[in-house]
């Protein structure tokens, strides 16, 4: 079963960058059909849970909609890496109307969070808390609302002479 998780991000220009997932950070309470007998649970992602997925082609979508593809790792526009904090991403948005629309929605604060879609390879449960220990990451998405509020993203511009703008939209700890 494909599962989806969300979190916040930051913005600025032609590049989006930040974290699609922060390791060991709790999600908001989740209720997923077919998981934990449909009862609410809190989820964490273990360090390295995405490592196996980094060699695969992962897509950047709008709202988990496969028809709303912005970039992917195969094209080189989307780069993913796992570090001590979490799953970091950076994307060079293409010169398309869809990408321009996304930038406008991000700057307006309409799209303000990140999410990821995955298949579980292994997890561990302790009461009503789930830890994802290994997943097959399929996509990261720009979304309106998220489940992992610790995640961040920022947009950067490639234009010479403009300073890099970092703007933290929301952080819940």
Does residue 73 fall inside a structural domain?
A: yes
Total structural domains within the chain: 1
User: What's the pLDDT at 5?
Assistant: 52
Does residue 106 fall inside a structural domain?
A: yes
The residue segments making up the domain with residue 8 are 3-135
- Residue 166 banded pLDDT, cuts 50, 70, 90: very low
Does residue 152 fall inside a structural domain?
A: no
Measured from the Cβ of residue 102, the count of other Cβ atoms closer than 10 Å reads 22
Structure token digits, residue 86: 């979490």
Structure token digits, residue 149: 């509020």
Does residue 9 fall inside a structural domain?
A: yes
Does residue 32 fall inside a structural domain?
A: yes
Does residue 140 fall inside a structural domain?
A: no
Does residue 147 fall inside a structural domain?
A: no
Does residue 68 fall inside a structural domain?
A: yes
pLDDT tens digits for 126-165? Answer: 999 999 999 999 999 888 776 776 655 545 443 332 222 2
Q: Give the distance, in angstroms, between the CA of residue 143 and the centroid of all CA atoms in the same chain.
A: 9
User: What's the pLDDT at 123?
Assistant: 96
What is the H or E stretch that residue 16 is in? strand 15-22
User: What's the pLDDT at 168?
Assistant: 27
User: What's the pLDDT at 9?
Assistant: 54
**pLDDT mean across residues, the chain:** 79
- Residue 13 banded pLDDT, cuts 50, 70, 90: low
pTM confidence score: 0.79
Q: Give the distance, in angstroms, between the CA of residue 29 and the centroid of all CA atoms in the same chain.
A: 17
The residues near 108 (Cβ < 8 Å, ≥ 6 apart) are none
Least confident of 54-68, 117-131, 150-164: 150-164
pLDDT tens digits for 29-50? Answer: 988 888 898 899 999 999 999 9
């Amino acid at each position: 079963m494909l599962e989806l998780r969300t979190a916040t991000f930051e913005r600025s220009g032609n590049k989006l960058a930040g974290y699609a997932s922060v390791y060991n950070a709790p999600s908001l309470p989740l209720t997923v059909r077919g998981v934990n007998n449909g009862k609410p649970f809190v989820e964490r992602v273990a360090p390295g849970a995405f490592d196996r997925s980094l060699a695969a082609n992962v897509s950047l979508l709008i709202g988990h909609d496969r028809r709303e593809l912005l970039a992917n790792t195969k094209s080189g526009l989307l780069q993913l890496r796992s570090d001590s904090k979490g799953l970091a991403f950076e994307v060079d948005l293409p010169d398309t109307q869809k990408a321009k629309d996304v930038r406008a929605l991000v700057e307006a604060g309409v799209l303000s969070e990140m999410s990821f879609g995955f298949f579980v390879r292994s997890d561990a449960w302790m009461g009503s808390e789930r830890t994802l220990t290994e997943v097959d990451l399929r996509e990261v998405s720009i979304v309106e609302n998220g489940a992992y509020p610790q995640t961040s993203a920022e947009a950067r511009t490639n234009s010479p002479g403009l300073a890099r703008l970092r703007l933290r939209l929301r952080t819940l700890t």
